[in-house]
Copies of this chain bind each other. A is one copy, B any other.
Amino acid sequence: MVDCIIIGSGFAGISAALTLQANGKSFQIFGTKNLSSKIEKAERIHNYPALADISGKDLCAALSSQLEKANIEITQERVSGVYELKEKFGVATQEGSYYESKTVIFACGVESVKQIDGETDFVGRGVSYCATCDGFLYKNKTIAVLCTTKRLEHEIAHLAHFAAKIYLIPMYKNVEVDFSNVEILQKMPAKIVGEKRVEKLSFVDKTSENGVKELPVDGVFVLRESIAPSILMNGLQTDGAHIEVSRNTETNIKGCFAAGDITGRPYQYAKAAGEGNVAAHAVTAYLSALKAVTV
């Protein structure tokens, strides 16, 4: 079992990893090979101390090479759940693996994609974030799939294999999906509606009598790069899209920390790097205290 699992490979996560390594702690960092689509897409960064006017691509390359030199490898799996156990945490991934660690740092960033009205209300009752985990539950059923990025388009194939009918609502350009049972809708739903479970998607429609058009579905898959922490982990205190933390990056759950954009504005690289550093030190202090109690 590692000392710490870091969720996210942006500035906060990398900063935490480098400092945990400096502090002699073992860790596993989850993310993507390209590290952060936010950094990658940034045109030029003017205010990151000691790197004048650097492009997002060059910054990503610098971070990648630093990780390589430090022998830090990114685990390229998407976290699907974080579970608080006795003095440790369990982390499950959408790829079907399970890991354990003494502490967790959420450094997963803030997705700029807004949640759909009703989305969180129906998690586990018709709303799913993981095609490979839950796809089989919708055999011969009708589902809607909100896909936020082309990178997750391959998951639609998996769903198309099970479902009778899929309404695909893509939130990106150049859709390349071609299945006879997939119908593409170029309109965002306003709401997910149902009683006990998801029953339909509701759209604004000015041509209809009540201004609303409804689409009956058995389930809704929301395919995002990352899942909101409040959904990943039960009981984690959040304030809207952000995890609430102390100045020391502690969340309300002991042994669980958060750093970077996910803790709130400003959404800046220096701030994220700083918080990742602080989180790594907080983890180190927490582990020392844990050891002192155990011994």
CA distance A69 to B47 in the complex (A): 12
Shortest Cβ distance from residue A254 to the other chain B in the assembled complex, whole angstroms? 19
Partner of A47, one of B19, B51, B246: B19
Cβ contact within 8 Å between A277 and B281: no
Q: Does A135 contact B (CB under 8 A)?
A: no
Question: CB of A158 within 8 A of chain B?
Answer: no
A196 within 8 A of B: no
Identity of the chain B residue whose Cβ is nearest the Cβ of A281 in the assembled complex: B266
Tell me if B21 and A49 are in contact (CB < 8 A): no
- Determine whether the beta carbon of A51 is less than 8 Å from that of B51: yes
Interface flag for A268 (CB, 8 Å) = yes
Contacting pair B274 A277 (CB below 8 A) = yes
A278 on the B face (CB < 8 A) = yes
Query: Could you say which of B18, B54, B277 contacts A271, with CB atoms under 8 Å apart?
Result: B277
A271 close to B278 (CB less than 8 A): yes
Query: Within 8 Å of chain B (Cβ to Cβ): is A89?
Result: no
Q: Smallest CB-CB separation from A47: which chain B residue?
A: B18
Q: Which of A58-66, A79-87, A116-124, A167-175 contacts B (4 or more CB under 8 A)?
A: A58-66
Q: Is A128 an interface residue (CB 8 A)?
A: no
The CA-CA distance from A46 to B67 in the complex, in Å, is: 11
Out of B19, B47, B49, name the residue touching A11 (CB < 8 Å). Answer: B49
Is residue A247 contacting chain B, with contact meaning CB distance below 8 A?
yes
Contacts of A177 in B (CB 8 A): none
Q: Are the C-beta atoms of A265 and B281 separated by less than 8 Å?
A: yes
0/1 interface trace, chain A 226-262, chain B, CB 8 Å (1 if under): 0000000000000000000111000000000000000
Contact check, B270 vs A266: say whether CB atoms are below 8 A apart: no
Q: Is the CB of B53 within 8 A of A51?
A: no
Q: Which residue of B lies closest to A52 (CB)?
A: B66
* A273 in contact (CB, < 8 A): yes
- B49-A14 in contact (CB<8A): yes
Contacts of A54 in B (CB 8 A): 50
User: Contacts A247-B247, A270-B15 known; A276 to B52 CB distance under 8 Å?
Assistant: no
Q: How far is the CA of A46 from the CA of B72 in the complex (A)?
A: 13
Contact of B52 with A51 in the complex, beta carbons under 8 Å = no
User: Which of B47, B52, B277, B278 touches A277 (beta carbons < 8 Å)?
Assistant: B47
Docked pose: A11 CA to B49 CA in angstroms: 7
* B49–A18 touching, CB < 8 Å: yes
0/1 string, A87-112, CB within 8 A of B gives 1: 00000000000000000000000000
7 sampled A-B residue pairs with Cβ under 8 A: A51-B62, A51-B66, A246-B247, A266-B278, A268-B281, A270-B270, A270-B276
Extra A-B contacts (7), CB below 8 Å, given A50-B66, A265-B281: A15-B47, A19-B47, A19-B270, A22-B46, A48-B273, A271-B274, A274-B278
